[in-house]
């Protein structure tokens, strides 16, 4: 390949700078130019909510290196060795003559930039819903450092007290925590009937919603925003109008999804997904082999071990992987992009909330024959003072026992459990293999059998017909529609503190240690739902009763710690 290869990169936030920097290391003599229409390049947009919260005080930290050097065009030229043109917009791709028409946004001057290889890293844009009032003052999106900087400045300057966050995805959850911790009264509005609808199943979301309620976040779920109402001046937002209510607001932040910037590619005749996003192969090549694409402007395929159509999941981590794959392929190294499994995690107040692979909802849509379990318990041995509860939901294929996905939520350490499952899915691992991974163990980090391994073991038991369980959602439905009874097998002092809400004549309390002698107190002609704090003892109760001739027994997954529908606090 010629040493004077001309590589033109459109987009300078994540994938663009990564591909340019990597390519320069591999091809010292290549002619590399990166074009960015904004003034800023290579900034950490994922850090914006944390600036709003006050985790760091200088917004410029998002555009600086770890040692404090600003990532400017001069930095990239002197340190990385490639040319960067800011405030320069790509207007048109001439594929036949291999050139791109660009415009300097400051001078208006246009010119053609030639290329041998072209990289489209045009990113994505925050979706602007077509609602009246969206252009009023004090309405923010959260995709650019200026958005975060001006929001923080105006909170102080105007003395905001009431905020409305529209959208309960990753950004919405992060900004909810940030503004609440800054002292604002916040209402979280989401058009779906749960938080994080594209990430979590409804039962795990219900558990997260309890935590939001504990932190005094007002939830407006299943409500569609119809307008942003102005104040008396007609210039500033004063309220958010939904299809159910009017919510007073000094400021409104909107994060209802990202749309891929694929218009340049579409106009050039490159293949794109019907719903948006440039289509790429395993080496990030578009339908034109001399044009590559990566980052938030493309759709990604699932990794080979799980099913599903190509999906649009804009993440900085994925964009950086794309950049490396692109550079390698241009330089003659065939390093494929293996695909994604939809892995993501977010911190919201004291909760860590993550997911990888398929949710139960997705598995149903794909007609996959699966089994599922929800487990709850501490992330460290119970005797450790910083042990915290985790709720884990895991899916596996009934056909080959391969792990399909997991969701994790709670105050405990969630990231390493999500990552462990992500790695298992990546390598096509089974439940038994996940349970057998040699994970690091010491009491400050986890119990002898890690929670993710315990969850895999219980799901394996359920698949083998040993464990018989129902989710909290299923348990609630059974109790509401049948004459089933609940069995609390905790110790008396635990029972005196709280119980799951239930009619007294349908709620039995028999400590596990007394169950063998007292099982005759229970009805054999009704479904029995056993539980304890986390349902370890509930599972043991199911086995004891099965051995005693009771064949209509299931334990409630996660126990009362996972129950989101109401508890009787008897001893408080």
Across 26-30, 300-304, 493-497, which has the greatest mean pLDDT? 26-30
Residue 65: which pLDDT band, with cuts at 50, 70 and 90? confident
Residue 66's pLDDT band, with cuts at 50, 70 and 90, is confident
pLDDT, tens digit (0-9, with 9 covering 90-100), for 518-559: 999 999 999 999 999 998 999 999 999 999 999 999 999 999
For residues 57-75, average pLDDT: 88
What per-residue confidence (pLDDT) applies to 498? 81
pLDDT at 148 over 50: yes
What pLDDT is recorded for position 237? 97
pLDDT given at position 499:
84
Mean pLDDT computed over every residue of the chain:
94
- Angle, CA 119 vertex, CA 79 and CA 423 arms, to 5°: 85
> What's the mean pLDDT in 410-414?
96
Look at residues 296, 300, 283 and name the one whose alpha carbon lies nearest to residue 126. Answer: 296
Cα angle 331, 333, 334 (rounded to 5 degrees) comes to 130
Residue 326, token pair as written in the block = 């692109």
The model's pTM: 0.92
Residue 460 predicted with pLDDT over 60: yes
Contact at 8 Å (CB) between 182 and 49?
A: no
pLDDT at 496 over 90: no
pLDDT exceeds cutoff 90 at 334: yes
| Confidence class for position 572, pLDDT limits 50, 70, 90 | very low
The torsion of the CA quartet 419, 424, 426, 427, rounded to 10 degrees, works out to 150
**pLDDT average, residue stretch 489-501:** 87
Q: Is the pLDDT of residue 212 over 50?
A: yes
In the predicted structure, residue 513 carries a pLDDT above the cut 90: yes
Lowest mean pLDDT among 302-311, 314-323, 460-469: 302-311
What pLDDT sits at residue 45? 86
Evaluate whether 401 touches 431 at the Cβ level (below 8 Å): yes
pLDDT of residue 494: 87
Mean pLDDT of 479-485: 95
Q: Are 220 and 186 in contact (CB under 8 A)?
A: no
What is the arithmetic mean of pLDDT over 322-339?
Answer: 96
Quick one: pLDDT at residue 504? Answer: 87
pLDDT digits (tens, 9 = 90+) for 371-408: 999 999 999 999 999 999 999 999 999 999 999 999 99
pLDDT band of residue 2 (cuts 50, 70, 90) is very low
Q: Could you tell me if 147 and 48 are in contact, meaning their C-beta atoms sit under 8 angstroms apart?
A: yes
Q: Sort 556 into a burial class: Cβ within 10 Å, 0-12 / 13-18 / 19+.
A: buried
pLDDT(260) > 90: yes
Judge whether residue 205 has pLDDT over 90. yes
The predicted pLDDT at position 571 comes to 53
What was the pLDDT predicted at 1? 42
What would the mean pLDDT of 433-447 be, rounded to a whole number? 96
**Rounded percentage of the chain residues whose pLDDT exceeds 90:** 87
Domains of the chain (ranges, CATH numbers): 6-46+54-124+259-330 (3.50.50.60), 139-256 (3.50.50.60), 346-463 (3.30.390.30), 469-568 (3.40.250.10)
Given a cut of 50, is residue 185 above it in pLDDT?
A: yes
Query: Residue 421: left (phi > 0), alpha (psi -120 to 50), or beta?
Result: alpha
pLDDT at 70: 86
Residue 570 has pLDDT above 70, yes or no: no
Model confidence at 191: pLDDT above 80: yes
Question: Which string of b and e fits 519-549 if b means at least 16 CB within 10 Å?
Answer: beebeeeebbbbbbbbbbbbbbbbbbbeeee
Secondary-structure percent of the chain, ordered helix, strand, coil, rounded to 5:
30, 25, 45
If you average pLDDT over residues 308-325, what whole number do you get?
89
Q: Which two tokens stand for residue 143?
A: 């995709």
How many angstroms separate the CA atoms of 73 and 80, rounded? 10
């Amino acid at each position: 390949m010629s040493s004077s290869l001309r590589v033109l990169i459109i987009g300078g936030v994540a994938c663009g700078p990564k591909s340019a920097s990597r390519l320069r290391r591999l091809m010292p003599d290549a002619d590399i130019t990166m074009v960015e229409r904004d003034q800023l390049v290579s900034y950490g947009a994922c850090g914006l909510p944390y600036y709003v919260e006050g985790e760091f005080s200088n917004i410029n930290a998002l555009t600086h290196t770890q040692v404090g050097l600003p990532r400017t065009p001069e930095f990239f030229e002197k340190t990385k060795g490639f040319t960067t043109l800011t405030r320069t917009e790509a207007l048109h791709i001439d594929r036949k003559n291999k050139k791109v028409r660009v415009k300097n946004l400051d001078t208006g001057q246009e010119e053609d930039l030639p290329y041998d290889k072209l990289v489209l890293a045009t990113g994505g844009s925050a979706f602007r819903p077509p609602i009246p009032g969206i252009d009023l003052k004090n309405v923010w999106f959260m995709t650019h450092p200026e958005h975060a900087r001006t929001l923080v400045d105006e909170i102080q300057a105007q003395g905001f007290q009431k905020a409305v966050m529209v959208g309960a995805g990753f950004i919405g959850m992060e900004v909810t925590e940030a503004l609440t911790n800054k002292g604002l009264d916040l209402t979280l509005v989401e058009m779906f009937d749960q938080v994080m609808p594209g990430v979590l199943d409804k039962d795990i979301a219900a558990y997260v919603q309890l935590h939001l309620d504990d932190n005094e976040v007002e939830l407006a779920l299943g409500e569609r925003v119809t307008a942003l109402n102005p104040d008396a001046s007609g210039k500033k937002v004063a309220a958010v109008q939904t299809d159910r209510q009017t919510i007073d607001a000094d400021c409104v932040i909107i994060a209802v999804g990202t749309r891929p910037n694929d218009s340049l590619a579409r106009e050039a005749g490159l293949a794109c997904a019907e719903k948006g996003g440039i289509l790429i192969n395993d080496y990030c090549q578009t339908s034109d082999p001399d044009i590559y694409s990566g980052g938030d402007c493309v759709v990604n395929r699932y990794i080979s071990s799980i099913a599903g159509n190509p999906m649009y999941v804009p993440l900085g981590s994925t964009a950086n992987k794309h950049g490396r794959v692109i550079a390698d392929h241009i330089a003659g190294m065939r390093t494929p992009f293996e695909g994604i499994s939809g892995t993501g995690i977010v911190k919201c107040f004291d909760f860590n909330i993550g997911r990888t692979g398929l949710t139960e909802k997705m598995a149903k849509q794909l007609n996959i024959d699966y089994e599922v379990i929800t487990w709850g318990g501490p992330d460290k041995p119970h005797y450790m003072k910083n042990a915290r509860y985790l709720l884990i939901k895991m899916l596996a294929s009934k056909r080959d026992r391969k792990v399909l996905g997991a969701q994790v939520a709670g105050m405990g350490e969630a990231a390493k459990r999500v990552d462990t499952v992500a790695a298992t899915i990546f390598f096509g691992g089974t439940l038994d293999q996940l349970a057998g991974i040699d994970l690091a163990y010491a009491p400050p980090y986890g119990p002898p059998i890690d929670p993710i391994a315990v969850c895999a073991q219980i799901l394996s038991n359920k698949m083998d017909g040993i464990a018989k369980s129902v989710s909290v959602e299923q348990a609630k439905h059974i109790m509401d529609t049948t004459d089933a009874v609940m069995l609390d097998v905790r110790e008396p002092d635990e029972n005196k503190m709280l119980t799951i809400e239930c009619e007294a004549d349908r709620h039995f309390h028999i400590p596990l240690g007394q169950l063998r002698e007292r099982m005759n107190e229970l009805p054999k002609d009704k479904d029995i739902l056993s539980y304890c704090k986390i349902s370890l003892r509930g599972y043991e109760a199911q086995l004891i009763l099965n051995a005693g001739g009771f064949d209509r027994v299931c334990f409630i997954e996660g126990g009362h710690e996972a129950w989101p529908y109401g508890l009787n606090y008897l001893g408080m």
